[in-house]
Amino acid sequence: MTSQQPTGASASTAEPLVDVQGLTVEFPTGGETVRAVDDLSFRLTAGQALGIVGESGSGKSTVAAALLGLHRGTGAHLSGTVRVGGIDVETASVRELRHLRGGTAAMVFQDPLSSLDPYMAVGDQIAEVHRAHAPHVSRRAARQRAVTVLDRVGIPDAARRSRSRPHEFSGGMRQRALIAMALACEPRLLVADEPTTALDVTVQAQILDLLHDLRAETGMGLILVSHDLGVVAGSVEDMLVMRDGRAVERGPVGAVLSAPQQPYTRELLAAVPRVDTRRSAVVIPVSAVPSASGGDILLEAVGVRREFGRRRDRTVAVDGVSLTVAQGETLGIVGESGSGKTTLGRMLVRLLEPSGGSVRYQGRELTGFRSDLQMVFQDPVSSLNPRRSIGESVADPLRAAGTLTDAEITRRASELLERVGLDPRWYHRYPHEFSGGQRQRVGIARALAPGPGLIVCDEPVSALDVTTQAQVLDLLAQLQRDLGLALVLIAHDLAVVRRASDRVAVMRQGTVVEEGPSDTVYDSPQDPYTKALLAAVPVLNPAEAARRRAARASGDTRVVKAAVG
């Protein structure tokens, strides 16, 4: 581990806002003890921003929780010291801890939907937090404070929207609401745990710009926990890399990203998908663009349309989209949340019936679901039955075909698990016993079971860390090479799509605004919306990230080239 401390004169003279020394966190699990954090030390001065990065299971979120004493009262065993704002978090009284949480430090959690009360108006939840730390404040004043902070974080028409409930907010607005709640008592430190995970690139950029502006206005310190190195690069001054609970490397973010000293840091950087280059070593060679007359066309959508609701409440999710997918190629579909990507993908495999237009597979009109068209869903947790073993989940499509004996089904399911990189001996384990990346591999194995010709992958790596993302994308590429599969890759991450796709279609408000070979669309975008998406992609160069932030602030979306980090 490098031993650099924050740069600048104040770093050596100011009392640390955060002082962590020899922190070790252990969790008892059955007869064993898991050490999630191992002898970690770092400091943060007032107004400074520190990024903590690493793979899933590296201990990042455990450290974030320890800063606010969230392990107290649980079975976790902590040793070492954690001081925030001069308070020893582990020995603080209940009253001191109450003041610390919200008053001195506040936390923004990864999933805003599960962090907000679905039955309470967003404004009332923020007002409740404010009154908990300022009991002398009237309810009316607390509600006004809620409106003020909602307006501060960019919620339009804050007074009216403060009366809305969480389900009436988009994902990005819910994340802004959580930040507003954290700001209600003007904390000196904000701990943000994966605040932009699963958000599309434009909303992600808005949240990161918001955090930057709030730091500039309030002088608060920031600890940003993320598996996305691009997110960290443009948001902090210092960076701490963790692996297996230990600090691997620490230093100024520019120095760590441009000249990493440790092999693990170099591995993380190598795994980051890049929007400025396509990794041809791990994907199928670019296919010829299929002609409108047929030939290599496997799947064709013509004027596909999908509406939801009736009459005045009708919403057009997909509006007259036409596209083709050739044998053995990968078509990437990108766009913001609400652009119609997932709805289109579900219509391609006939999980949704189009309201208009047609979908043809191998030249024939699709009139219902077909086993040779499969889908890998975004969230493997909700798409796998928690009461069935992974082997049984993979075997279900084989059993539905009714052509194999029970012994043959078990053997074939075990082979599929092995093909996607899972131990066949895990056949009888349940989904909760696996990591996110492993569960996604189960979903891929299940999709392969019927022997499909085309698989639609809907955000298959959106919530995975960079190394697991790379593993899943490499797996899909290998399967495509071995089996001749056609893939439709739906994602909001433009770098992921470029890494894996031969062609790309950019969607906005239910329509395709630009389509073509990946290299052409990425290197020479024609539509202003495509340019805006590319300008919002995080980059690994802090100076370039600052330039892009300034360009977004001025409304200039001409900056679309990713910097080489």
Facing residues of 491 across strands? 334
When computed from its CA atoms, the radius of gyration of the chain, rounded to whole angstroms, is 25
Compute the 3-state secondary structure of the chain and give helix, strand, coil in percent, each to the nearest 5. 40, 25, 35
- pLDDT exceeds 70 at position 411: yes
- In this structure, are residues 495 and 275 in contact, taking their beta carbons and an 8 Å threshold? yes
Note the pLDDT of residue 8: 40
At 290-305, the pLDDT tens digits run 433 334 899 999 999 9
Residue 99 corresponds to which amino acid? H
Instruction: Kindly give the residue spans of alpha helices, DSSP state H, lying in 135-200.
Output: 139-152, 158-161, 171-183
At 272-328, the pLDDT tens digits run 888 876 644 333 333 444 433 334 899 999 999 999 888 777 889 999 999 999 999
Pairing of strands 330-334, 32-44: unpaired
Q: Which residues contact 79 (CB under 8 A, 6 or more apart)?
A: 22, 23, 24
Facing residues of 376 across strands? 457
C-alpha closest to that of 148 among 156, 138, 159: 159
- Residue 8 CA to residue 265 CA, distance in Å, equals 24
Tokens standing for residue 22: 């020899």
* Least confident interval from 294-298, 375-379, 530-534: 294-298
Note the pLDDT of residue 14: 55
Cβ neighbours of 120 (radius 10 Å): 14
Taking residues 407-419, report their average pLDDT. 95
**Its pTM surpasses 0.85:** no
C-alpha closest to that of 103 among 182, 48, 213, 177: 182
* Least confident interval from 193-207, 475-489, 543-557: 543-557
* Least confident interval from 233-237, 278-282, 359-363, 468-472: 278-282
Backbone angles phi, psi at 521, to 5 degrees: -65, -40
> For all residues of the chain together, what is the average pLDDT?
87
Backbone angles phi, psi at 177, to 5 degrees: -65, -40
- pLDDT exceeds 50 at position 9: no
Note the pLDDT of residue 277: 66
Note the pLDDT of residue 255: 95
Q: Can you count the helices (H) and strands (E) in the chain?
A: 22, 20
Q: Where are the beta strands (DSSP E) in 73-215?
A: 77-84, 87-88, 105-108, 189-193
Backbone angles phi, psi at 148, to 5 degrees: -60, -45
490 versus 5: the higher-pLDDT residue is 490
- Residue 563 CA to residue 180 CA, distance in Å, equals 32
Note the pLDDT of residue 337: 80
At 168-179, the pLDDT tens digits run 887 778 888 999
Note the pLDDT of residue 172: 75
Identify the band that residue 490 occupies on the pLDDT scale cut at 50, 70 and 90.
very high
- pLDDT exceeds 90 at position 48: yes
Q: Report helix, strand or coil for 416.
A: helix
